[in-house]
Structure 1
């Protein structure tokens, strides 16, 4: 939690950043009181700044009075070179995979200790999906997440494996030792899979996008069953990932 209300030296900028920083994966919807508390601001100050942020589009006020991150912040975030270049190069390949499979396909990157979804093309088949453009999900329960975690710096892997692993379904891996073994296997095989670990009825496979500078993202696909199609889907994703890497130069 940044700062406190008794700090006379806090700038307006620091207070605005504290409000935006109050949101995280566990706090996607916040009331005005919660925003003030998490940002370390007096409620009248938070009310004024939240109003300005909402008017600009950085925040959005729901009908129940809670606030969420606004679309405009996402639009600005896409202007970052890594996100914009990767997304623009990858989207045609995502459409190719979607056209061939009619399944949901993802483009994701690592953002701190979570997976950030830069693009999602939703399939026409009835497979339950929780991810969407701009959403952030845990590493351990998604195919793209396992790929990104396997290639993440040691300190990131250590933090994730040291923290409690949230259970989403009865198939979610919550054992750090088992997850660590899977990550080793991901590095050996070149891809990661999940079996109903985030959502019942949804399986996924993910592969890394690797450039000369290392892994910059991951491509993934979600289907109802991987038992017969895993090899075909992995091959399609790997070809697409290689094409994206070439496009990035």
Structure 2
């Protein structure tokens, strides 16, 4: 905890950790490296220690109930606006989990039950949840994926992703990020349905609506 508290004010060299914590140099180094293995601590481009991504993930999990209560009515509105099923996904290790959904009531639809675990290697929501990760996690996440680094760069620039037949043949989707502190994607809002309705350019039809829904959820999270 002394090491994590020392990093709260920003990146720190090993010498600074020793000075702030009062720990011996070998002990400070051993603890920082152990925390790094568990992703509680990371390193910046200069090799300084920083707070790691696992802390934000744990914080996000702690606020999951609040996220769901805010997101559910927005998903219903998104479904009604687009006429397609709407979902909210969170990342858990190497999968993404559907944590909330608003299903199309009739006709051909893409049904993703709440609790479903889907791969992080395919689909527009997977692109969103990977695009704002650190470079090492992106590099690992791209192994065996249906998209590449260029695709993720485009996703970050336009702030939405689309997929056509990536996860499941005949299904298309559009997703956008729900953002937390620092602008990182903590969840992905999606609409999905058959290619016959969404076409092979689903973003052209629904990107604006999905981005707007994700931004409303993000804003409510910051304000509440």
Q: What range describes the TM-score normalised by the shorter chain of this pair? A: 0.5 to 0.7
The structure with the largest helix share of the pair is: 2
CA contact (8 A) 2:122 2:167 kept: yes
* Whole-angstrom distance in 2 between the partners of 1:132 and 1:236: 22
The aligned runs of 1:109-120 (5 Å cut-off) are 109-120=90-101
SS in 1 for 2:63: helix
TM-score, normalising length: structure 2: 0.64
Contact kept, 8 Å, 1:113 with 1:156, in 2: the verdict is: no
User: Cα deviation per residue 1:81-114 (whole Å; 9 max; x = unaligned)?
Assistant: 3221111111110000111223111101111122
- TM-score, normalised via structure 1 length: 0.58
Is 1:184 aligned with 2:153?
A: yes
- Indicate the residue corresponding to 2:125 in structure 1: 144
CA deviation after TM superposition for structure 1 residue 183, in Å: 0.9
Is the 1:143–1:204 contact (alpha carbons within 8 Å) kept by the matching residues of 2?
Answer: yes
Question: What is aligned with 1:34?
Answer: none
Q: Which has the higher contact order (CA 8 A, sep 6+)?
A: 2
Give the aligned CA root-mean-square deviation in angstroms.
2.1
Distance in 2, matches of 1:241 and 1:198, equals 21
Distance in 2, matches of 1:160 and 1:229, equals 24
Q: Which residue of 2 aligns with 1:47?
A: none
2:172 is equivalent to residue 203 of structure 1 = yes
Contact 1:144-1:218 at 8 Å conserved across structures: yes
| Cα-to-partner distance string for 1:19-70 (whole Å, 9 max, x where unaligned) | xxxxxxxxxxxxxxxxxxxxxxxxxxxxxxxxxxxxxxxxxxxxxxxxxxxx
Structure 2, unaligned runs of 5 or more: 1-60
